[in-house]
Chain A
Amino acid sequence: MFKRGAVKTPAVLERTHEQEQLSGQLIIQAAGIHKTYETGKVTVQALRGVDLRIRRGEMVAIMGPSGCGKTTLLNVLSGLDDITQGEVIIEGAPLHKMSDKARTRFRAEKMGFVFQAFNLLPVLSAVENVELPLLVAAVNPGVARRRAQEALALVGLADQTAKRPAEMSGGQQQRVTIARALVNIPAIVWADEPTGNLDSETSASVMDLLGRLNNEQGQTFVIVTHDPAVAQRADRIVRMRDGLIESDAPNHVAK
């Protein structure tokens, strides 16, 4: 059901076709990224010239000590935040030159997010949370509901669709978030410490899920994590320190 072409909406079909063409190419190109936070008196240099290239379908783990700039990097790559200097090109489009409006549309069409704090809307049920990105993409509400239910089934929550976040466990909530991140088949999924709040067992099952989706659908995953066990499942591990990339190596242990 998450296989390419399974969706009949023209906009989505168009995109999968485009993805096919670009397959094997670079999806993320970042060069010389600087990010400076101005907070009153102090200026924090969170990123100090980061270069990063990620290929389509790769699963990349970003690691590093607290405060080294991982979240910041994720935010600027995904267009949630502006950069001070440098350039970010996603699928050939220069993100750093886009208006807020264009970037937002870009996000809606091409990206999915999984955050540490689960970031579900507490007033919506699981299925309503999941279908939200589809509604934003103007998918027919009936179709959206069906696809959201399928996505929840995929993450093993077929029987929890009507529950509100407050009525679910941390692991369940995180799986809802993943379903939401994947429901509109984004090209890139950004995950900031997706297992940060979970015990090792649950964490492992969430990672299994991510790995499986990556395998089956060939989406690109960028995962920030402190957990070596999580990082071990990635194709590639990027290590950061003080706003710079310290090392960037393929992970031979993977899978």
Chain B
Amino acid sequence: MEKLFGVPIDRLMLSLLVVFAVGVAVMAVVAWRNQVVFKMAVRNIPRRRAQTILIVLGLMLATLLFSASFATGDTLTHSMRVEAVKHFGLVDVIVQGETRDVGNRLPSFDQTYAGRVQEALAGDSQVAGVAPLLQERAPVLAPGTRLSEPWVDILGYAPQSMAGFDRLLDVTGKEMALDALAPGKAYLSAELTEELDVHRGDTVQVFLGPQPTPLEVIGVYVKGASPAGERSLVVSLPYLQTVTGAQGAVNAVIISNRGGTLEGVRHTNAVVSALGPLLEGSGLKAEPVKQKALDRADREGGTFATVFLLFAQFSIAAGILLIFLIFVMLAAERKRELGIARAVGMQRGHVVRMFAFEGATYSLIAAGVGSLLGVVVGWGMVRIMAAAFSQWDFHLTFAFNWRSVVIAYTLGMVLTFAVVLSSSWRVSRLNIVRAIRDIPEPSTSRKSLKGVIFLGLLVAGGALLTVWGVQEEQLGLYLLGASLIIIGLPMLARRFGLRDRIAYTVAGVGLVAWWMAPESWHDAAFPFLPEEMKAGIEMFFLSGIMLVIGGVWTVIYNADLLLNALVFVFGRLRGLPPVLRTAVAYPMQYRFRTGMTLAMVSLVMFTLIVMAFIIQSISGVFADVDRIAGGFDIRANTSYTNPVPDLRVALTGAGGLRPDDYTAIGGITAVPVKVKQMGIEGEPVDLMVSGVDTGYTDAVGYKFAMMAPGYTSPRQVWQALQDEPGTAIVPTWMVPTKTNFNVGDAGPALRLEGFWREDKVLPEELYLEVQDPRTGRTKRLRVIGAVEDMAFYVGSITTSQSTVHGLLERAVPPQSYMLRLTDGVDAETAAKALKAAFLENGLQAQVIATEVRRDTSASLMINNLLMGFMGLGLVVGIAALGVIAARSVVERRQQIGVLRALGFQKGMVQFSFLLESSFVALLGIGIGVGLGFGISPQVINSFKESFEAITYQVPWGVVLFISGVAYAASLLTTFLPARQAASVYPAEALRFTE
């Protein structure tokens, strides 16, 4: 990754390091000036080794999540970079046509340009080589084996110009002479020879046109052909020119910068600008290909890391709560000690410093452990992703960048330390007498003026935020502002004597209701609200936090009612009442601990449940393959060098095929154009426009998300596409929506303006201006439909074939086809037969159902991985339960002794401890699941707004599984402390004073 949150990673690292260094320096100075306090603090660390380990493990979780997210980003960046480097080798810049031809083919130009480029760069010490290149992509067939490969990069090298570029190396590492490439001879890449099962001396056929060109394989290289994919072959430039009938023409001038594959990139800008004057107005451009590929790798890696962080944010929030909890518990443990220290004259500031020192030491260690362990977790996740990505032919190799580890470390450290500082401050405010006598601190003094003023400001601020949100049409601000009022008012009333239970219940239920209320309710209750408010990805986090706060408050202030019910129900079971009594009394008394743990568990559970709902509902979409495919069964692509002009006609003549098997054949011609929306300022965007024939429009079954006024049925729109020249339809991603859940930048794309998807009907006047970049001719297209989201196979602007021909002023054969089979014909067999019949055309046939299923399983894998990653947050909640249980054993030793004296059996003590954490765990799980179920219909609905095919489905299996795992894990972590509690020896425990 080179960028994170849009900030260059170097700068991010540097600024974090500065913050970190300043923090450490300040601590060091303070430590030096308070050596006694410092020693007291540090002494605590080795004193209780097991506890120290537990604390470090607790503190490291947030850092671990950072680090693991970064590692996935780094891996993606690295893998894409490797791919880029493999493809381009030493080639840094390519001089090529500014536009592309039909089939995305590079337009050719005069070879003399190579000489001129060379001249322009002569004496430029940054350039290592300049060479003319003719490259094509064509099907290759081995007549001997009848094996074929539809997409092979054919490179025409000028042997005498290739100095300064990669050398072709054979399997022994020996350089292969380019001079040996006589006409009709070729070197093949090792991958290609394997694919075709050919060897030196065999002959292959290349279909650069309708007639095959025979080539003799005179050598096999393992690397060195660039720019090209894995399957490539090299011939001499003059020969390729002859065969393609392009005497004296090339379609690229490749430039290699001085320096290695990666170092050379540095000179890219200089080289590109040096060529500026030469290429001005020539229709050519110097494309910084490698730079662009590397940039893309970096950007995608950053986006990836951001997505993982996005999903980890709840777990990170839970991790922060855990840090806070751990320190408050630590303080509780030292309470008496601290109280005595304060009594003998230790200043409040000293206490803060003491905790800060101790906390800083833990944080330093924990961030270190977390950032390294995160890399390990990242590695594990990459292994799963690699399996998913291999379905898409992309190889993922694990990598991590030490700078990301540094960022994770410093970020984790700074965050941890900030929490530690705030908890130290809280600790220092303890009352000396209460601390020594170990009396719980009373809840905040009720009527302090400060408190009342603060709450007053909170309510006023909330009101302002609400108004602002309504004005700006920002849903998040509006909901958040009102939430502050919902919290603030009952808290104010509490200051004036309202009972805690009522105040918190009102606030809690209010929050939950407020955030769960469907939009229609808000619209009905507040008619002044703008019709559609904007909502972004931040809503995800905001609503999660608010719902959980509300849920936890409500539950914790009413749990005693629940308990009475429990006791009433189970009170009759022999042996249970005394155990139940103690098990429940403790968590109810220690509201802070219990609340924090509930919040952690329920926060993570909530997000997992919502995620499960989303995955389930989306996966339902993919089940309807027929709708995704628009009623077609097979999709086929042909080579641009040797297309099939009319598949229907060709089918009749081809051997092994029965035209009757195909009930519909739709042809698609895709051409590159420049597009802009008419009447809107802005640069035109490079896009493809597809021209479909009547075979397509007559058969296609896609519906529309939006249609222009006057059109009443999908059929009518498709028919109009053929009948009314100059009409077009667009995919839904071009239509703006008010809810925008996109992460990262998706690159240049055309977004229409002036209307919203939520409008349901397209504006009467919606025109696109498309331009053929070759000729500069423009054409106006009227948009009459936005195709439904399920139309996966409508990727770009679509119009009729004749409209495309009109734009190009010539007929261009389709390069791809959509076919529908007669009922009962096996799709896989048909696809194979098609491939075999049109080998020379490089026809690739894909069964759509298979393709959808493969993509679904791969994305399911990624989704599950994301869920698993979020699930790491459960570790946080469970760790909290474990920490509390372990602490309780120490804290309550004497009380355990009393219970044993009163006749509690060992098993009862153990059961009581397990019951206690079960109670908290189950409540937490319950809140999370409850809130998840409550909000999911709305979440799914909001997805439905931008993806209408989504249906609400309850993922029962996943819910049960996650809840079961969470509960089992919580039992496991408390099992050991419970055992310890049971083995407390009464006679000793009764003597025990802390």
Where the two chains meet, the residues of A that have a C-beta atom closer than 8 Å to any C-beta of B are: 71, 75, 78, 80-81, 100-101, 104-105, 107-109, 111, 113, 115, 117, 119-124, 128, 132-133, 135-138, 141, 144, 166, 180
Contact = CB atoms under 8 A, between A and B. Distances in A.
A80 B901 contact: yes
B895 interface: yes
Contact of A107 (B575, B585, B895, B903): B903
Contacts of A115: 898, 990
B993 A105 contact: no
B806 interface: no
A75 B904 CA distance: 16
Chain A CB count within 10 A is highest, among B567, B575, B905, for B905
Given A119-B898, A121-B585, A132-B578, A80 B903 contact: no
A122 B439 CA distance: 9
Interface string B574-591: 110110011001101100
B987 A80 contact: yes
B571 A141 contact: yes
B990 to A, nearest CB: 6
B993 A135 contact: no
Contacts of B577: 135, 138, 141, 144
B585 A117 contact: no
Given A100-B906, A104-B906, A135-B577, 18 more contacts: A75-B987, A78-B901, A81-B985, A81-B987, A104-B905, A105-B905, A115-B898, A123-B588, A124-B582, A132-B582, A132-B899, A133-B902, A133-B903, A136-B578, A136-B903, A138-B574, A141-B571, A144-B577
A123 B585 contact: yes
Contacts of B897: 119
A128 to B, nearest CB: 7
A101 B905 contact: yes
Contacts of B899: 121, 132
Given A71-B991, A80-B986, A81-B987, A123 B903 contact: no
B894 interface: yes
B589 A123 contact: yes
Interface in B895-918: 895, 897-906, 908
The 8 closest A-B pairs by CB, nearest first: A108-B903, A81-B987, A135-B578, A123-B589, A123-B585, A75-B987, A80-B987, A135-B577
Nearest to B589: A123
Contacts of B581: 124, 128, 132, 135
Chain B CB count within 10 A is highest, among A75, A111, A120, for A75
A68 to B, nearest CB: 15
23 contacts: A75-B990, A80-B990, A81-B987, A100-B906, A101-B905, A104-B903, A107-B901, A107-B902, A108-B903, A111-B901, A113-B898, A117-B993, A119-B894, A119-B895, A119-B897, A122-B589, A132-B582, A132-B899, A132-B902, A133-B902, A135-B577, A141-B567, A166-B440
B898 A121 contact: yes
A137 B903 contact: yes
B794 to A, nearest CB: 65
Nearest to A119: B898
Given A117-B894, A132-B578, A104 B904 contact: yes
Nearest to B902: A133
Contacts, number: 85
A108 B902 contact: yes
B11 to A, nearest CB: 52
A113 B902 contact: yes
Contacts of A166: 439-440
B545 to A, nearest CB: 30
Nearest to B905: A104
Interface of B: 439-440, 567, 571, 574-575, 577-578, 581-582, 585-586, 588-589, 894-895, 897-906, 908, 985-987, 990-991, 993
A186 B908 CA distance: 21
Contacts of B588: 123
Nearest to B580: A135
A121 B575 contact: no
B636 to A, nearest CB: 74
A176 B901 CA distance: 16
Contacts of B574: 138
Nearest to B439: A166
A197 to B, nearest CB: 12
Contacts of B993: 117
A124 B991 contact: no
Given A80-B986, A117-B894, A109 B575 contact: no
A186 to B, nearest CB: 10
Nearest to B903: A108
A108 B990 CA distance: 17
Contacts of A132: 578, 581-582, 899, 902
Contact of B586 (A109, A123, A138, A141): A123
B724 to A, nearest CB: 79
Contacts of B901: 78, 80, 107, 111, 113
A56 B10 CA distance: 85
Contacts of A109: 903
Contacts of B908: 136
Contacts of A108: 902-903
A96 to B, nearest CB: 14
B588 to A, nearest CB: 7
A136 B582 CA distance: 11
A120 B578 CA distance: 15
Nearest to B993: A117
Nearest to A120: B898
A180 B578 CA distance: 14
Contacts of A128: 581, 585
Nearest to A138: B574
B192 to A, nearest CB: 76
B893 to A, nearest CB: 12
Nearest to A72: B987
B586 A136 contact: no
A124 B902 contact: no
B435 to A, nearest CB: 13
A135 B571 CA distance: 10
Contact of B895 (A100, A121, A133, A135): A121
Contacts of A75: 987, 990
A104 to B, nearest CB: 5
B516 to A, nearest CB: 34
A81 B577 CA distance: 27
Nearest to A105: B903
A151 B608 CA distance: 51
A144 B586 CA distance: 21
A58 B582 CA distance: 34
Nearest to B575: A138
Contacts of A123: 582, 585-586, 588-589
Contacts of A107: 901-903
A232 B577 CA distance: 41
A81 B990 CA distance: 11
B919 to A, nearest CB: 13
A136 B902 contact: yes
A204 to B, nearest CB: 25
A27 to B, nearest CB: 18
A120 B585 CA distance: 13
Nearest to A113: B901
A92 B991 CA distance: 29
Contacts of B586: 123
Nearest to A71: B991
